[in-house]
């Protein structure tokens, strides 16, 4: 997936770029609206992340002109403004979602994935890997014909792994997504819950699906 970030605050732009690249996205950056519009119109991006207040051309004008030129990539607007009318203006200009600064990177990442799923042809509500299935509507999990009972946290953890299969997830990102608080690196809560989940989804005769990446975190993949 290729993402364009248009943000004039260079530290913020670099923060977003580094975080997304760590999640294995390809990221390009522009620091003003005119350059951003040129790049958005001339390259094939899967997603645009646009600041509203930009030099040379605002984010609102950028997305409006991009849409007028038949650009279809979903757009996430970033702004320090939180008033309802500002959000409505962004959405009416052609944006698909709106995130107010300051924000946690985990929330930005969640919205990015949501927009990419929304624009994807794959709309199934059932997530799978090997013979493991998770129905995201009924919240039921099963492996082959074996029903798996999950707690709320175990369900959230399994869904997060499945939506990010084959991607290495750090413990910090997992904690921010599932627990929504600043992760204390001195706790082993992530490892405890992963072990609980492993015990439930990986029987003695079944293929291992959750793999430890030493010093980093975990990845869900088929061996």
pLDDT digits (tens, 9 = 90+) for 30-51: 999 999 999 999 887 889 999 9
Going from the C-alpha of 165 to that of each of 18, 87, 181, 214, the distances in angstroms are 20, 33, 23, 17
CA–CA separation, 109 and 148 (whole Å): 28
- Per-residue pLDDT tens digits for 139-183: 899 999 899 999 888 988 998 899 889 999 988 778 766 764 444
Average pLDDT over residues 197-220: 91
The model's pTM: 0.56
Half-sphere CA count of 28, side-chain side, radius 13 A: 19
- What domains can be seen in the chain, in order of their start residue? 2-119 (3.40.50.2300), 126-220 (1.10.10.10)
pLDDT over 70 (residue 2)? yes
Split at pLDDT 50, 70, 90, the class of 117 is confident
- Distance CA(90)–CA(98), nearest Å, equals 7
pLDDT band at 12 (very low <50, low <70, confident <90, very high): very high
* pLDDT at res. 148: 95
Among the ranges given (86-100, 114-128, 137-151, 177-191), the one the predictor scored with the smallest mean pLDDT: 177-191
Backbone angles phi, psi at 39, to 5 degrees: -65, -45
pLDDT of residue 1: 62
Residue 125 has pLDDT above 60, yes or no: yes
- Top-confidence range, 49-63, 95-109, 145-159: 49-63
Q: For residue 122, what pLDDT is reported?
A: 47
Question: Per mean pLDDT, which of 58-62, 89-93, 156-160, 179-183 is the most reliable?
Answer: 58-62
Is the pLDDT assigned to residue 62 strictly greater than 60? yes
Lowest average pLDDT, out of 65-69, 88-92, 181-185, 203-207, goes to: 181-185
For the segment 114-130, the average pLDDT, to the nearest whole number, is 74
CB 83 within 8 A of CB 98: no
Please give the residue that has the higher pLDDT: either 164 or 185: 164
Q: Please give the pLDDT value at position 181.
A: 41
Strand extents, DSSP E, 65-139:
75-79, 97-100, 126-129, 132-135
pLDDT at 184: 59
């Amino acid at each position: 997936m290729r993402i364009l970030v248009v943000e004039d605050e260079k530290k913020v732009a670099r923060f977003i770029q580094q975080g997304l690249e760590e999640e294995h996205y390809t990221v390009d950056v522009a620091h003003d609206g005119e350059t951003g519009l040129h790049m958005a119109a001339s390259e094939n991006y899967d997603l645009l992340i646009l600041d509203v207040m930009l030099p040379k051309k605002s984010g609102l004008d950028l997305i409006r002109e991009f849409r007028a030129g038949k650009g279809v990539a979903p757009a996430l607007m970033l702004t320090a403004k939180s008033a309802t009318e500002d959000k409505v203006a962004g959405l009416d200009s052609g944006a698909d979602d709106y995130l107010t600064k300051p924000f946690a990177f985990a929330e930005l990442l969640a919205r990015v994935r949501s927009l990419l799923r929304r624009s994807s042809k794959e709309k199934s509500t059932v997530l799978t890997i090997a013979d493991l299935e998770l129905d995201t509507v009924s919240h039921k999990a099963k492996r082959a014909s074996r029903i798996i009972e999950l707690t709320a946290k175990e369900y959230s953890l399994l869904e997060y792994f499945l939506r990010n299969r084959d991607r290495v997830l750090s413990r910090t990102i997992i904690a921010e997504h599932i627990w929504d608080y600043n992760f204390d690196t001195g706790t082993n809560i992530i490892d405890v819950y992963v072990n609980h989940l492993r015990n439930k989804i990986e029987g003695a005769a079944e293929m291992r699906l959750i793999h430890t990446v030493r010093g980093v975190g975990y990845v869900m993949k088929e061996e």
